[in-house]
Amino acid sequence: MTAEDLGALATEASDPRYARLDQMSVAELAQTMNDADATVPAAVQRALPQIVPAIEAAAERMAQGGRLVYVGAGTPGRIGVLDASECPPTFSTPPELVFAIMAGGPGAIVNPVEGAEDDAEAGAAAIDAADIGPLDTVIGIASSGRTPYVVAAVRKAGERGALTVGLSCNADTPLSAAAAHGIEVEVGPEVLSGSTRLKSGTAQKLVLNMFSTIAMVRNGKAYGNLMVDVKATNHKLRERAIRMVRTIAEVDRDTATAALEEAAWDVKVASVMIRRGDDLAAATARLAAAAGRLRTALEEN
């Protein structure tokens, strides 16, 4: 892509509404940025017809044992790292189930690695190194939709049989062309021209929230709207676990706490123990037979 082509991208454009940004007061700047940010959910809404089938396909592959893999450079890569890193504590998933590949390696999460995003060969090699296969879903994230590292990674993942998704913030991008599912959340020019950590980054986080959360909910990681697979590793989360068991099993605090302590603070096991009258071994076996789905374990005959 030439310099002229890059300049034509909406994410690189300069919006005349913000031409006096450096002359605004703090109050004006805050209002301006907030007004701009308020347009992002509407842009995501317009992209839902692209987002929904991609999530459906990803959730189906994850149900068969596939992984969810984010690939990005710079801010999009860091957003992928953030979303992936929240899955183990929220859903008790192993770290290798949802993970991120960052252009430039782990060090680039904190310190930029010059030229990493332009290294297409490294992007393809990272997919090979992760042993991406047919059950996996690879989501390439690039605000511009043309980052060579990301486009090459998505293309290589497709060659290896993976489900591929390209998430960008421009129209008709090379990333969308390389992916089976192109998602283009057109947020328009940034308040600070070219600073795609702003609206573009917010849009990417919203979409990745949908991917990881919906895939997990569809695969039994929630009961109603309760995060029943949470790891109760601190006081706040143990209190949350107690409230969940009290709600699910309709018992008092002491009964819920006792069951959780016996179940090593596993909300699903404790709930089955109380609701079904099972001991620890039987509740664990019942959940395993239900593929970890609490509703199935509670309602089966």
**Annotated catalytic residue 86:** yes
Specify whether the CB–CB gap between 102 and 77 falls below 8 A.
Answer: yes
| Spatial CA neighbour of 169 closest among 138, 197, 144 | 144
**Annotated catalytic residue 117:** yes
How far, in Å, CA of 86 to CA of 213, rounded? 10
Which entry of 12, 60, 86, 186 is annotated as an active-site residue?
Answer: 86
How far, in Å, CA of 294 to CA of 296, rounded? 5
With a CB cutoff of 8 Å and minimum separation 6, the contacts of 55 are 210, 211, 214, 215
Give the CA count within 13 Å in the CB-facing half-sphere of 140: 39
Strand order in the sheet with 98-102: 98-102, 68-72, 137-141, 163-168, 181-184
Which entry of 117, 159, 190, 261 is annotated as an active-site residue?
Answer: 117
How far, in Å, CA of 273 to CA of 100, rounded? 36
Place of tokens 């347009």: 39
Active site residues: 86, 117
